[in-house]
């Protein structure tokens, strides 16, 4: 009887060990079992109605899998907007033109919005620190000057790390307005890395696109300037706006950030977070939506 009891105990231990090993073998690293995520999106009705858009009006896909949209909430909070101005020597725009483009935003921002103006060539330098004071911004624009080569990708990284990320979770509505043609000559940062960093931080990029000084010339190690601008805007949930009417473009961006930005909350079901994932937001009939198109690998 004792031998039989010892045999049964041994068999039970073996089965328990096999079950543990099987359970561990079945676990996939980097897989999330139902976690709630937030995504900044643009949403508006095509008929210009101000009626609030709800979770029932949108569909969301993460890595090709439809996810449950838990809530869609309009975000009326103040925006933090970086005006990133290419002031390199060969840009096809003079200093007065660059100042005019930046100046229009001063008079279109909403209450409690703030602007940071950064000019870049080989270095990214603050022209005007965070403020909503129109007089301070006007006075600072005299600091714009043209010199050197454009290191756009390094400038984007510097802005993200030194100006936007330090704002923390209390300011989710953060945007960059690029005033330039998208040319980069010599950045240490690769374009794909700069874009991925912006997507990870969920920062929308808008652009007032100045004509390409290269005439669309082939670039060996980086996309053409026009492609850089297009990808920065479209893949972060921003857009490109007309250069010929800067006042209307500035108003459109500021209106969008205050009136048409929403926070989408969704439950992610078994989605790997170690690999980059394609994101897709669709609006129901009569509703336009935009959001970043990729969640980069963690």
pLDDT exceeds 60 at position 9: no
- What's the whole-number mean pLDDT along residues 27-41? 68
Is 24 domain-assigned? no
The CATH number of whichever domain residue 185 belongs to comes to: 3.40.50.410
Contacts of 192 (CB under 8 A, 6+ apart): none
pLDDT, position 298: 78
* 61-102 confidence digits (pLDDT tens): 999 999 999 999 999 999 999 999 999 999 999 999 999 999
DSSP 103-159: HHHHTTPPTT-EEEEEEESSSEEEEEEEE--HHHHHHHGGG----S---HHHHHHHH
Same domain, 138 and 254: yes
Q: Are residues 137 and 40 in the same domain?
A: no
| Phi-psi region at 53: left, alpha or beta (left = phi > 0; alpha = psi -120 to 50) | beta
Q: Supply 139's token pair.
A: 């006075």
pTM: 0.86
Q: Are 70 and 197 in a shared domain?
A: no
Q: CA-CA distance, 277 to 245, in Å (whole number)?
A: 36
Burial of 165: CB neighbours in 10 Å, binned 0-12, 13-18, 19+: middle
The reply to whether 53 falls in a domain is yes
The answer to whether 238 and 256 are in contact (CB under 8 A) is no
25 in a structural domain: no
Lowest mean pLDDT among 4-13, 78-87, 215-224: 4-13
Q: Which residue has the higher pLDDT, 29 or 268?
A: 268
Q: What is the mean pLDDT of the chain?
A: 88
Mean pLDDT of 111-135: 96
Q: How confident is the model at residue 270 (pLDDT cuts 50, 70, 90)?
A: low
pLDDT tens digits along 130-166: 999 999 999 999 889 999 999 999 999 999 999 999 9
Instruction: Judge whether 237 and 243 are in contact, CB under 8 Å.
Output: no
What is the rounded CA–CA span in Å between residue 296 and residue 263?
A: 19
On whether both 249 and 104 belong to a single domain, the answer is yes
Parallel, antiparallel, or unpaired for β 124-131 and 277-283?
unpaired
Flag whether pLDDT at 15 surpasses 60: no
Q: Which domain holds residue 89?
A: 80-259
Pair (36, 128) in one structural domain: no
User: 263 - beta bridge partners?
Assistant: 40, 73
- In this predicted model, what pLDDT tens digit does every residue of 94-112 receive, in sequence order? 999 999 999 999 999 999 9
pLDDT for 14 equals: 44
Q: Per the structure block, which two tokens stand in for 33?
A: 């079992």
Regarding whether 138 and 113 lie in a shared domain, the answer is yes
């Amino acid at each position: 009887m004792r031998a039989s009891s010892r045999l049964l105990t041994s068999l039970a231990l073996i089965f328990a060990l096999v079950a543990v090993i099987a359970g561990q073998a079945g676990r996939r690293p980097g897989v999330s079992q139902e976690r709630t995520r937030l995504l900044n999106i643009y949403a508006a009705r095509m008929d210009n109605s101000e009626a609030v858009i709800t979770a029932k009006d949108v569909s969301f896909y993460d890595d090709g899998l439809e996810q449950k949209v838990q809530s869609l909430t309009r975000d009326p909070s103040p925006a933090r907007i970086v005006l990133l101005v290419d002031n390199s020597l060969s840009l096809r725009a003079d200093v007065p033109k660059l100042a005019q483009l930046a100046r229009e935003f001063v008079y279109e921002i909403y209450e409690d919005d703030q602007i940071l103006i950064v000019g870049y060539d080989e270095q990214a330098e603050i022209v005007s620190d965070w403020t909503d004071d129109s007089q301070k911004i006007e006075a600072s624009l005299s600091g714009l000057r043209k010199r050197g080569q454009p290191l756009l990708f390094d400038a984007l990284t510097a802005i993200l790390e030194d100006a936007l990320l330090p704002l923390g979770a209390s300011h989710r509505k953060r945007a960059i307005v690029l005033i330039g043609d998208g040319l980069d000559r010599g950045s240490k940062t690769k374009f794909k890395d700069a874009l991925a960093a912006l997507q990870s931080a969920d920062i929308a990029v808008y652009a007032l696109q100045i004509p390409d000084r290269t005439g669309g010339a082939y670039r060996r190690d980086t996309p053409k300037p026009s492609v850089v601008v297009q990808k920065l805007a479209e893949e972060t949930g921003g857009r490109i706006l007309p250069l010929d009417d800067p006042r209307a473009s500035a108003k459109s961006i500021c209106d969008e950030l205050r009136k048409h930005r929403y926070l989408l909350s969704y439950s992610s079901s078994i989605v790997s977070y170690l690999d980059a994932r394609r994101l897709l937001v669709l609006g129901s009939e009569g509703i336009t939506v935009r959001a970043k198109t990729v969640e980069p690998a963690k």
